[in-house]
Amino acid sequence: AHLLPDAATKAVCGFCSTGCGLKVHLKDGAAVNLTPDPDYPVNIGTACPKGWEALSVLDAPDRARMPLLHGKEVDWDTALKYFCDQMRAVLDKHGPEAAAFISTGQIMFEEMAFLGALTKFGLGMIHGDGNTRQCMATAVTAYKESFGFDAPPFTYADFEESDVLVFIGANPCIAHPIMWQRVLRNKRNPQIIVVDPRATETAMAATQHYAIKPKSDLALLYGIAHLIIRDGGVDTSFVEEHTTGFDEFEKFLADYHPARVSEETGISVHRLVHFAQTIIHGTLRVSFWWTMGVNQGHQATRTAQAIINLALMTGNIGKPGTGANSITGQCNAMGSRLFSNTTNLLGGHDFRNPRHREKVAAATGIPVQRIPDRPSLAYDQILKAADEGTVKALWFVATNPSHSWIDQNEINRILDKLDFIVVQDMYCSTETAKRAHLVLPAAGWGEKDGCFINSERRIGYSPKVRRAPGQALADFHIFRLIAHYWGCEDLFRAWSTPEAVFRVLQRCTEGQPCDISGIAGHEMVQKSSGVQWPLSKDDAAKFKATTWKERRLFEDGKFYTPDKRAKFVFEAPQAIPEQRSTEYPLVLITGRGTSAQWHTETRTGKSAVLAKMIPQELMLDLHPNDAAPLGIREGMPVRVISKRAELTAKARLTTCVRPGEVFLPMHDPRVNQLTHASFDPHSRQPSYKHSAVRVEK
């Protein structure tokens, strides 16, 4: 009876970028249970295990309930004075580049915009980046160069409307299980192509699986483009009318003949031809989907653009069931891309452009001279500056780099050099919180309100449905308090509530590709089951007058570049930074290991239900051919050793990995001790997919 609700409210899930709708059951105004929302257009009544457990993880005993100063509980007044004294001392003594923040794709987009505005316009910092650098920076950079704006073009309906779905470095079966449900609803009897070194759950369900050598994806994609041209499969009218750079691309591809590409990828010439024939321009709708297997690579941006090039040359964009479609990672990664005020100025603007600074100043009421004229350093560059001593203080919000950042021992060594570390988080037990001088206790999903933006650009609203524990506060309120204690609250008079910030941000987007000025506030977002960007003031009437609920970009063939044409961007593949050697003969690939856990398990690790759905020990996937000469049998404990560290795991012998390759799930806190820190030069995204290791009994 205590679970019998007397009301329900709509929310969107706060874990992954799918952005599922949930119905939260309320009793006396507080959440007692939840079920998937059958009317929400994203998930249509389904949810993955994480979504079902969204409430239970809020009750964990290690929730941060009070501010902690050097591990001791203090009141908010003491904590905020300390925060301001320390940050101000660093900035006054060492200049505006000496303190930085690391934001997240996990908080509401109004909150992350406030954080970016507070730090840069209020506190006077220059640098701040997000953990979205670890997942989406590559797609952002690729889209900007190819389309003129960071613009994933698709809607989830495209999963159901394709004749051929090509998944590259993506395992939606477990990484985005509800998107995979949308694939299963496809009634067109589609071909499903998977490009992945591993026989993942998605690869096993595919009609064609290309188990390429790790990080040979760029060569493969160029080889497929070569064959499409050779066999007359280019949509020449689309290319001529809507793109630039194809002639140069065609010349560049001349070297990517099938024999060479077969050698570099490990895929036979016959199968390369079969792949190309499947997607060749004709009557079939082909959609291309990618995620971390592409984005987390040493040449990730060019690989993403090689996918975009395939969509452009075959005319598969701007129509149902098509697109070059990057699937986002976190619940609000898209919000971070446009509104975190890190690499882009609010609303996808450019810090370096004086007109953009003037426009954002007018929209926000912030004096233009307070807006920096350059973007932030990227995450890895901020850490490098910390190592070199120019960054002295870091403020981490809802992220746990001591677990998740590549080459973990190195980041921990750097963090230990800092004068001041602040962690603002729901839990006081994260690996990073343990290193912090000051911990600020934050409310979690369901304990505050605001919006997320999902992979298909849908803004979804999530309300407050319960109280945060102890003295934990919504991130939004923490930022307001810091503005007050810092003495800059006058700058943020208009930023009084998440809804008020939503209005400010709407003004920032006017005239941008991501224009959301036509949305009538949070209520419309909630009642409409989310609204995709763009929705300009001109669009608003159409939205009201029809049942228009979905929007695909580029239906008119016009892109966001100055000449309205998409651009073919390409570059020769680069050598893999850490090659196998006699001492380290195996390639370690890391990635998502289960649909039942989320990233560093900071939240999902608290659920007893989810804990039962995963192995209790760290499992190393190892091919039997590699195990036999080492005398390793199924279930044996093994040491996995890289140049940087070693750990123990249990061997799982499987042909799902190729000989010479091993796999570890990223959720275990030790795995990133092994990974080699290399970065895509264009997006600065870390490459988690290729480190050299050896395995011993």
Shortest spacing between CB 175 and ligand SF4, in angstroms: 9
Question: Can you read off the two tokens belonging to residue 482?
Answer: 């810091």
Residue 48 binds ligand SF4, judged by CB under 6 A? yes
329 is an interface residue for ligand SF4 by CB under 6 A: no
Nearer to ligand SF4, 301 or 529 (CB): 529
Q: Which of 177, 197, 258, 530 binds ligand SF4 (CB under 6 A)?
A: 177
Q: Which is nearer to ligand SF4, 172 or 321 (CB)?
A: 172
Residues sharing a CB contact under 8 Å with residue 153, sequence separation 6 or more, in sequence order: 147, 317, 318, 323, 324, 325, 552, 553, 554
**Distance between CA 130 and CA 118 in Å, rounded?**
15
Q: Binding mask 357-396 vs ligand SF4 (x if CB under 6 A, - otherwise)?
A: ----------------------------------------
Is there binding between residue 20 and ligand SF4 (CB under 6 A)? yes
Backbone angles phi, psi at 317, to 5 degrees: -155, 145
Q: Name the closest residue to ligand SF4 (Cβ).
A: 51
Of 10-18, 311-319, 437-445, 496-504, which part binds ligand SF4 (CB under 6 A)? 10-18
Cβ–Cβ under 8 Å, residues 613 and 679? no
Q: What is the b/e burial string over 157-189, where b = at least 16 CB atoms within 10 angstroms of the residue's CB?
A: bbbbbbbbbbbbbbbbbbbbbbbbbbbeebeee
User: For 626, phi and psi rounded to 5 degrees?
Assistant: -85, -30
HSE (CB half, 13 Å, CA atoms) of 221? 35
Using rule CB under 6 A, residue 13 touches ligand SF4:
yes
- By CB under 6 A, which span of 15-23, 472-480, 523-531, 621-629 interacts with ligand SF4? 15-23
Measured in whole angstroms, the distance separating CA 468 from the mean position of its chain's CA atoms is 26
Nearer to ligand SF4, 53 or 425 (CB): 53
Q: Where are the beta strands (DSSP E) in 148-217?
A: 164-168, 191-195, 208-210
Question: Exposed, middle or buried, 316 (CB in 10 Å: 0-12/13-18/19+)?
Answer: buried
Cα 324 to chain centroid, rounded: 16
Determine, following the binding rule CB under 6 A, whether residue 18 of this chain makes contact with ligand SF4.
yes
Q: Applying CB under 6 A, does 178 fall inside the site for ligand SF4?
A: yes
> What kind and span of H or E run contains 339?
helix 333-339
Buried b (16+ CB within 10 A) or exposed e, 379-391: bbbbbebbbeeeb
Binding-site size for ligand SF4 (CB under 6 A) equals 13
* Token pair listed for 248: 């140069």
Q: Interface with ligand SF4 by CB under 6 A: which range of 17-25, 151-159, 211-219, 292-300?
A: 17-25
Cβ proximity to ligand SF4, 50 vs 198, nearer residue: 50
Decide: is 19 part of the binding site for ligand SF4 (CB under 6 A): yes
Name the segment binding ligand SF4 (CB under 6 A); options: 45-53, 209-217, 228-236, 659-667: 45-53
User: Looking at 16-24, 75-83, 182-190, 611-619, which segment touches ligand SF4 (CB under 6 A)?
Assistant: 16-24
Decide: helix, strand or coil at residue 664.
Answer: strand
Q: Closest separation between CB of residue 2 and ligand SF4, Å?
A: 24
Task: Establish if 16 lies at the interface with ligand SF4 (CB under 6 A).
Answer: yes
String marking each residue 95-114 x if it binds ligand SF4 according to CB under 6 A = --------------------
Interface residue list for ligand SF4 (CB under 6 A): 13, 15-16, 18-20, 43, 47-48, 50-51, 177-178
